[in-house]
Amino acid sequence: MRLAIGAAVLLLCCGLVSAAPKLREYKDGKEASDAAKELGSMNGNSRKALFQQWKQNNGKDYADNSAADRAAFAAWSDNLDAVVEHNKKSGVKFFKGLSAYSDLTFAEFKDKWLMPDRPVSDIPVVPSAKKFSPGGSRKLKQTPPLEFDWRARGVVPPARNQGGCGACWAFAGLGAMEIKARIDGTQLNPDLSEQQIVDCAGGGVGANGFGSYGCNGGWSNDAYGYVAKLQAVKETAYPYTGVTGTCRDTSVSLDGSLTMTAQPGFQGVINSAQAIMQAVSSTGPVSHYFNVQDSFYYYSGGIYQASQCTADTYNHAMIIVGYNATAGIGSPDSYFIVRNSWGNWGVDGGYIKPSSVSSTIASAPHSLINGYKNVLAVAVETDYSFPLAEKVKAYLADPFAFASTDAPAAGSGDAPAAAAAAAPEEEEEDEDMGFSLFD
């Protein structure tokens, strides 16, 4: 009996010793602050043991005490210090944590995972007349709901992982199309090939008529345009490699391919939190360009606000799938719900919640709406059977001059049933909401 009790006590003590402080995804300031105090009090051996546990949890395979291991521990330890220093402060709105990438300095992470900084002037211009704005149509004159989340409607797949390739622009474009396909009630739940877009729309200016740069950055506009001009295939047919490759011929059916032609329609969204909220709640997800800085890299809970941010450059793109403005659109406690493409990073399996207040719109990554032209996927449909060549040619020549009256009439037999069924509601709004090819 004495031995049994001793064993039980030993097991209990071992359990207490093995418990590690939480490293990420804090639910509130108290949890973040308590973890910061515990982490900050660790001695060198305890910190090294925690690093070993972090390595195991995140599948890091560099050998113990190798040069790579020592460099990783140095970066990880510095990042842990930054987390502790931030989270122990009172009144912070967002919390920092350690992710699967915390064995890299921010400079190393930026070099591998972000697009090179590009000037806002490089972003393709969306004419102001075709920007999605409050009060621009019958639907938009309605006040958006105070909170909205497409995830709650079961149409948002898990966050993707772009790896060490600056292809966020392709993930943001295709991701919005995948979600919009589900919103529009298509029978298939597509997982489209980002690699196809990286290879075929990312070969530099003039490549296939597009100007993006594969793993060196680009524009979600090109993802929309490429799918509209040609087709998108399934991920299984054109797997992701994370490097810019040679475009494979998709004019013939690839094994396991999905023929999917999108309405070649997207709109700019004006630099207004309310406009984004209306666009998201009434139409669908918004692909958006950001300027990511080191505080963003550490994000692990709360409502993100950047202390400073340039409005002259961008280096990332993500998808806005919802928002919460129950505190009021003008409150710093209102936020957007944004899906990233870094796998299980941030919160909720790959998300960040940046503040939506106008002061943040001038300074935080999501707010680069001031200069950035946010693109909105209009629709995705499957199995178009009618000839597209002439209409696509007209669209590519001048998308914003392409009138909806040039499209097939609803119910004519040319357009899919889903597009025909939606036509009566959309016809009233085409003039204000922008063009679409098949409405």
Q: Which of 309, 340, 366, 374 is catalytic?
A: 340
316 is catalytic: yes
Which phi and psi angles does 269 have, rounded to 5°? -120, 125
Please count the CA atoms within 13 angstroms of the CA of 112 that sit on its side-chain side. 15
CA 229 to chain centre: 23
Q: Which of 79, 165, 168, 309 is catalytic?
A: 168
CB 280 within 8 A of CB 248: no
Q: Which of 79, 221, 309, 316 is catalytic?
A: 316
340 is catalytic: yes
Furthest-apart CA atoms within the chain: distance in Å: 89
Which phi and psi angles does 155 have, rounded to 5°? -115, 0
215 is catalytic: no
Catalytic residues: 168, 316, 340
